[in-house]
Amino acid sequence: MDVVRLEEGLWRWTVPLAGRASVYAEIGGAIALVDPAVPQDPDEETRFWRALDRDVERLGLPHVLLTSDRDARDAAAVVDRYPGARVWRPGGGGEAPPPGVTALPGPVAGSVLLWIEQYGALVAGPPARLALTTAA
């Protein structure tokens, strides 16, 4: 697992063997996980959950945001670990993403781009393999 701190409260991590990337953002005193990927390696998985447990203890249950209606990936593992955590996905019944996040039409049907206003960050998931662009 490769973890990069982009700025205070905004992180990107990748799980190379799975070819997946994810974003962690603290937004308005809450946690948002975009397309969360749980590491497969047992040591890295333990490290991942310990770090997230600390943040959940500090900020409360995470919001899990998916950039594709077909891409649940490890969202279920997050909800299993943190009962009551909510999953938002495109086309998920008209519910809006959490405050501070705007869903924009994605490049393919059933996908979205997520604008995280606090960081000036635009997050795109598959097929773009989760790109993150921040305003300078």
Residuewise pLDDT in 10s, the chain (136 residues): 899 999 999 999 988 776 778 999 999 999 999 999 999 899 999 999 999 999 999 999 999 999 987 667 689 999 999 999 999 998 876 678 999 999 999 888 888 999 999 999 999 876 555 556 666 5
In the chain, where are the structural domains located?
Answer: 2-98
pLDDT value for 18: 65
- How many other C-beta atoms lie within 10 A of the C-beta of residue 127? 10
Instruction: Please choose, from the candidates 53, 50, 52, the residue with its C-alpha nearest in 3D space to the C-alpha of residue 22.
Output: 52
Report the alpha-carbon distance of residue 33 to residue 20 in Å, rounded.
13
The reply to whether CATH 3.60.15.10 applies to domain 2-98 is yes
Report the alpha-carbon distance of residue 3 to residue 21 in Å, rounded.
10
Structural contact between residues 15 and 41, judged by C-beta atoms closer than 8 angstroms: no
pTM metric for this prediction: 0.90
Tell me 82's DSSP state. S
Report the alpha-carbon distance of residue 70 to residue 111 in Å, rounded.
8
